[in-house]
Amino acid sequence: MSDDVARIRALEEEVDSLYKQGRYREALPLAEKAAASARPMETDQPHVYAACLSVLGEVQRVMGMHGEAELSHQRAVELWKGVVSHWQAQYALAVNNLGLLYQEMGDYRRAEPLCCAAVAAWKEALGEDHRLYATALNNLGLVYQEMGQYARAESLLSRAMEIRQQVLGEHE
């Protein structure tokens, strides 16, 4: 790993720590710095830049910066698409995050295909007995619920709950 990538990864770890603590205002400038530092790697190491954009987009999303988050997440999805054969799980996370953003914005028509893509990508990357696959099913179910498609929603939400109980145990 190059020194530049190591510095970017260290920034991402600091952002992740602040994010988990709910210290978003402190995390934002570090996430922006990591993305700016990774931008020159877009051509030769697109996964590094895409990862930074995904992190930045999530910080922006939780801060209510929907327009900025949308741009960050859209670009991350584009970059992950180019390397999806090697980074299926990261692509799944990126499309999931963009779908969540649209869901949060009430734009269910745009959220639905992204949530469907996340379900398919998680299934391919991790299988049907993984908590992230269950999370993607849950997210898609919630989109259908908001769209008034209750039968589809119930089926997906029930399946997500079954998987969670199998994977995490009865009390999780």
Residues 116 and 77 both lie in one domain: no
- Domain tally for the chain? 2
Tens-place pLDDT, residues 10-26: 999 999 999 999 999 99
Cα separation of 156 and 82, whole Å? Answer: 29
Instruction: Provide the pLDDT for residue 101.
Output: 96
In-domain check, residue 88 = no
In-domain check, residue 92 = no
Mean pLDDT of the chain: 93
As a dihedral over the C-alpha atoms of residue 50, residue 56, residue 60, residue 61, rounded to 10 degrees, the angle is 50
Tens-place pLDDT, residues 119-165: 999 999 999 999 999 999 999 999 999 999 999 999 999 999 999 99
Q: How many CB atoms lie under 10 A from the CB of residue 32? A: 18
Instruction: Provide the pLDDT for residue 1.
Output: 59
171 pLDDT exceeds 70?
A: no
In-domain check, residue 132 = yes
Cα separation of 70 and 25, whole Å? Answer: 18
In-domain check, residue 121 = yes
Say if pTM beats, i.e. exceeds, 0.85.
yes
Residues 65 and 127 both lie in one domain: no
DSSP per-residue letters across the chain: --HHHHHHHHHHHHHHHHHHTT-HHHHHHHHHHHHHHHGGGTTT-HHHHHHHHHHHHHHHHHTT-HHHHHHHHHHHHHHHHHTTTT-HHHHHHHHHHHHHHHHHTT-HHHHHHHHHHHHHHHHHHH-TTSHHHHHHHHHHHHHHHHTT-HHHHHHHHHHHHHHHHHHH-TT-
Residues 126 and 163 both lie in one domain: yes
At 21, list the tokens. Answer: 């603590």
Instruction: Provide the pLDDT for residue 82.
Output: 84
pLDDT band per the 50, 70, 90 thresholds, residue 170? low
Residues 63 and 25 both lie in one domain: yes
Average pLDDT over residues 58-63: 96
Tens-place pLDDT, residues 73-131: 999 999 998 887 778 889 999 999 999 999 999 999 999 999 999 999 999 999 999 99
Instruction: Provide the pLDDT for residue 168.
Output: 78
